[in-house]
Amino acid sequence: MKKYITLILLTILLVSCIQPNPSFKEEEISILPKPSSIQIDKGSFKVEEDTKIVFQDKTQEKAVNYLTGLFNKAAGFNLEVVDNKVEDAIVFEKIEGLKEGAYKLEVSPTSIHAKASEENGFFNAVQSIRQLLPTEIESKEKVSIDWFVPSVTIEDEPRFQWRGMHMDFSRHFFNIDEVKDFLDNMALYKLNTYHMHLTDDQGWRIEIKKYPLLTEKGAWRTPNNQDTICMDKSVENKLFAIDESNFKEVDGERKYGGFFTQEQIKEIVAYADDRCITVIPEIDMPGHFKSAIDNYPFLSCNGESGWDTVFTYPTCLGKETTYEFMKNILAEVVGLFPSEFVHIGGDEVNIASWEVCPHCQKAIKEHGLKDEHELQSHFNRDIEQFLQSKGKKFMGWDEIVTGGLTKSANVMWWRNWFPNSPKIAAENGNGVVVTTTAAYYFDYLNEGTTLERVYNYEPIPADFTTEEEANVLGIQANLWSERIPSYKRLQYQAFPRMLAVAENAWASKENKDFEIFNNNVEKQYNRLDALGVYYYVPAVKGLDKEIAFVDETAISLDLAYELEGTEIYYTLDGSIPTKESLKYDAPFVVNDTIEIKARAYRGDIYNDLKSTKILHKEYTEPVNVTIKEKGLKQWVLKGKRKEVSDIKIPKTTNFTKVDSIALGDLKDKKRFSVVYQGYFKAEKDGVYEFETRSDGGDELFIGKEMVVDNSGWHGPRKRYGKIALKKGLHPITIKYRPSDKPRVIEAKFGLQGEELIAIDSKVTGY
Ligand code: ACM
Ligand code: ZN
């Protein structure tokens, strides 16, 4: 009997020994950005405590260090690095002929071979291995699991060499630990360029030894309107709270701010370099310079510092002291950042200051320049020459194109409404980085600049020739921080859209597919959770407008898109929903006016609050009239009115019959108001939505009830309102008081929930 048991035990032992490593299915694997080609093979490689790493030369050092670092932290073992060939190992092997960043990865049950021609390629191979490993590899504490890497054969190379992310440290500050965390997450997705917007009107964030006031004073501000907006929002969303560590007592006053010492900058640059990430510094000049001018007022045209109508007073370009100041700063900056490129901003300059400045006007004359834009280009050329003398390349926002470009300047295109900027630059042979607001401004909300929109945006303009296309260095997404006061909020704005930028920057056009990408993104959430990343979760939809009803209504709450593990919580008493609030699981009936507030959660991550009123309405009865003419009466009244409500309804028959509500020829008129009046035909009983769009202001009435209040004094904007109408004719009046330059008046209607259509003679008469 004993013999028999021993035999069974031996058999079990034998079977478990020859048990092959598990195979993985395609659904279990997500490498993002998507490799150029990937084949999934049988089995997997198991990384164990005694697994060796075969290392050949220095080009593999960063990759090897990163990989051993991951295992040290998460697996608690130190993989041995050897320089002789061994079997059953992770082998780094240099091959010729792959482009920068490209790599090949062959994983089998017996070995891993990572091949590349230079260090970026090896590093990228490690990031693919990282994503093939269980998400526990991201753990900051030791985890005891089997570390299988699925067998795959990958060939991979990037589309662009500039795969960038930007952070704005001026509007709100982020500290060195947050920067390092961000760099780690960039590395995971093969993003390799980190643009630091270090200076702006709202704060100076880099120590410059020659000008100590820049950080002693310029890095600290009395909380401004951006701060108060954020603090107000923090009541309903803690991500808008400003961390106490960013406040300090300066000159007896509590101030907001922060800056990096030069030692910290070196630490950031080195940390990034270990991850094959280049840090690009931006010192924005000659505008966006208030935080410096406040403390060195001789820099501005007339010693004044502050805001003009839209932008701040810039530095004076007619005084030699400005040029000297800039070069002294840049001399320190170039010593800190080994990057090829130095970004000097150049955007949004208030040239009105230069128009009236005798120094600037003298400089324009002396240098034979046409205008203030050419003056800025003259300044740029001088700065560029200085940078070149330090071995650096000059880069600026696309405003630098306006006054003329040198052959060697590089342009960051952000204003997609200026399609000529990149065209002129690329035609001229200048390098271009695409970072347009249309897709790559990640400070814009996820609901508008959606993941799909970012992903499907083709960065190369359609009219680019092959030669012009070759001048596109790559793409970048920007995180302007006016409304981003905390690192968690920054992550919420960045993820998952950063994954779309990563794939846009990496994958060829032919290799892209949103559905496949989206599937891969969904598989990344667990890894992001393991990394402690705060990401955007789909919003509760359908609460952007008030909901009106007559008897009762069923309210259903849905997510803008499905995401596993996401739940909706809501309240009906005006309080802010938490996970202790009502959990939504099925439509519910409402029969009174209430306010609903709802929020989606995935774990402890939540979305922006959505809320609206659910309004109980009584039906408005129709009037009994006979229509003689289709369309509406239109009166154009002379004279300017202060308020829309100052417009009196004319009693005269001196009107024009119109078939639609539109500005038409009135766009060339000034100082007038318009009244439209007639009857609106409700085809059936129901809740109707009316919408107007106008500049200046307007109001829409059904009978005596103001349904749309679009009054005030504003640029073109829409407003809506709802009313329950019984089938039949209802008196309608629209009053429009245009702004000084009339631009638009439009009115639409529809049954609640249906598409709105223009109010015209099909539904009106008098
Ligand atoms: C910018 O957004 N002003 C570059
Ligand atoms: Zn000046």
Extract the tokens encoding 724: 């329950």
- d(Cα 617, Cα 548) in Å, to the nearest integer? 7
From atom 1 of ligand 1, which residue's Cα is the shortest distance away?
Answer: 347
Concatenated DSSP letters of 16-67? HHHPPPPP--GGG---SSPPSEEEEEEEEEEE-TT-EEE--SGGGHHHHHHH
Task: Give the helix/strand (H/E) hosting 125.
Answer: helix 119-132
Ligand 1, atom nearest to 288 Cα: 3
Nearest one of 660, 653, 608, 655 to 631, comparing CA atoms: 660
Burial grade of 248 (CB within 10 A; 0-12, 13-18, 19 or more) = middle
Q: Which ligand is nearest to the CA of 372?
A: 2
State in Å: Cα 432 to ligand 2 middle. Answer: 30
Residue 376 near residue 396, CB atoms below 8 Å: no
Q: pLDDT at position 84, please?
A: 84
Residue 11's pLDDT is: 55
Q: What is the 3-state secondary structure (H, E, C) of 584-630?
A: CCCCEEECCCEEEEEEEEECCEECCCEEEEEEECCCECCECCCCCCE
- Stated pTM of the model: 0.91
CB contact set of 247 (below 8 Å; sequence gap of 6+): 254, 255, 256
Query: Dihedral of CA 513/514/519/521: which sign?
Result: positive
CA–centroid distance, residue 399 to ligand 1 (Å): 9
Exposure string for 619-644, b = 16+ CB within 10 A, e = fewer: ebebeeeeeeebbbbbbbbeeebeeb
Instruction: Specify the residue for token string 């009239």.
Output: 625
The domains of the chain, with CATH numbers, are 22-156 (3.30.379.10), 162-531 (3.20.20.80), 540-616 (2.60.40.10), 632-765 (2.60.120.1560)
Under-70 pLDDT residues of the chain: 1-19
Enter the tokens of residue 585: 């699981």
Query: How many angstroms separate the CA atoms of 720 and 734, rounded?
Result: 13
User: Quick one: pLDDT at residue 407?
Assistant: 95
Q: Is 359 a catalytic residue?
A: no
- The ligand with the least distance to the CA atom of 304 is 2
Q: What is the pLDDT of residue 309?
A: 87
Strand partners for 234:
none
- At residue 469, the pLDDT reads 97
DSSP line for 129-178: HHHHS-GGGG-SS---S-EEEEEEEEEE--S-SEEEEEEETTTS---HHH
Ligand of minimum distance to the alpha carbon of 302: 2
232 is catalytic: no
- 695 an active-site residue? no
Q: Ligand 1 atom closest to Cα of 480?
A: 2
Following CA atoms 224, 229, 232, 237 in sequence, which dihedral angle do they give, to the nearest 10 degrees? Answer: -120
Using CA atoms, how far apart are residues 632 and 762, in angstroms rounded to an integer?
11
Both structure tokens of 62:
């960063």
Q: How far is the CA of 365 from the centre of ligand 1 (A)?
A: 30
Cα–ligand 1 centroid distance for 448 (angstroms) = 18
Q: Which ligand is nearest to the CA of 356?
A: 2
pLDDT score, position 195: 98
Output the residue whose Cα is nearest ligand 1's atom 2: 414
For residue 397, the ligand 1 atom closest to its alpha carbon is 4
Within 6 A (CB) of ligand 1 lie 347-348, 397, 414
Give the per-residue pLDDT at 634. Answer: 97
State the number of CA atoms in the 13 A half-sphere of 597 facing the CB. 15
Q: Which of these is catalytic: 166, 288, 378, 730? A: 288
Distance 541 CA to ligand 1 centre (A): 31
Catalytic pick among 61, 184, 274, 348: 348
Residue of 200, 207, 482, 698 marked catalytic: 200
Substitution site in 312, 349, 414 for ligand 1 pocket (most atoms within 8 Å of beta carbon): 414
**Is 232 exposed, middle or buried (CB count within 10 Å of its CB: 0-12, 13-18, 19+)?**
exposed
Nearest to 373 by CA among 337, 398, 393: 398
Q: How far is the first Cα of the chain from the last one, in angstroms, to the nearest whole number?
A: 106
716 contacts: CB under 8 Å, gap ≥ 6:
693, 694, 695, 743, 744
| Centroid of ligand 2 to alpha carbon of 389 (angstroms) | 26
Going by alpha carbons, the residue nearest to atom 3 of ligand 1 is 347
